[in-house]
Each structure stands twice: as structure tokens, then as C-alpha cells.
Amino acid sequence: MGQPRGKRSLNGRIKQKAREYIWKYSFNDVKKCETVCLTNREEIMDFLLEDAEVQNVGIQLSQVPDVRRGLVLTDSRGEGWYQT
């Protein structure tokens, strides 16, 4: 039996939303077999601050992954940012 819905902490939901945003705005290069990030940390912060629940509590910089445009997230050699 899994965890009931709605029991995740706010910190966990912030990290999950940040990961979803990163994957939503990434490019899948089929020739090099890698996924490249097309966003940066500031854009993720702006996206997270649009959420009313986060606005009431605030957000710490450590909760947002330190990604930059052009960062390889995953690749076929297992050396991507999310793979190490």
C-alpha cells in the first residue's frame, strides 16, 4: 500500500515541481542520445514563486537545483547531471 495523496511536505513538492519544470523545458538530442537543459536557475525560481502556496512560505535557494542552460541532464554513457 502506497502513501496517501497529499502527505508530501512542502519542501518535497517544491523539489518535485522544479524537476518537472526542468524536464518540461529540455531538449532530447537523438543523435547524441542525451537530454540537454534549456532553462536556468532563475527561470525555475520565477516559476516556483508563481505558486500561491510557495509565496506564503517563501523559498530557499538551496531548494532549487543549480542548473544552467546547455547542461547535459542524461546521456547514454551515464554521465549526465541527473545520473551521477
Residue 34 lies in a domain: yes
Looking at residue 38, its pLDDT comes to 94
Residue 66 lies in a domain: yes
Task: Indicate the number of domains in the chain.
Answer: 1
Residue 81 lies in a domain: no
Residue 5 lies in a domain: no
Could you list the residue range(s) of the whole structural domain that residue 39 is in? 10-75
Q: What 3-state class would DSSP assign to 20?
A: helix
What is the pTM for the complete model shown?
Answer: 0.79
Looking at residue 43, its pLDDT comes to 93
| pLDDT, tens digit, 9 for 90 and up, residues 5-63 | 666 788 888 888 899 999 999 999 999 999 999 999 999 999 988 887 777 777 888 88
Residue 68 lies in a domain: yes
C-alpha grid cell for residue 38?
Answer: 534549456
CA 75 → CA 36, 63, 84, distances in Å? 9, 24, 11
What span, in angstroms and rounded, lies between the C-alpha atoms of 13 and 11?
5
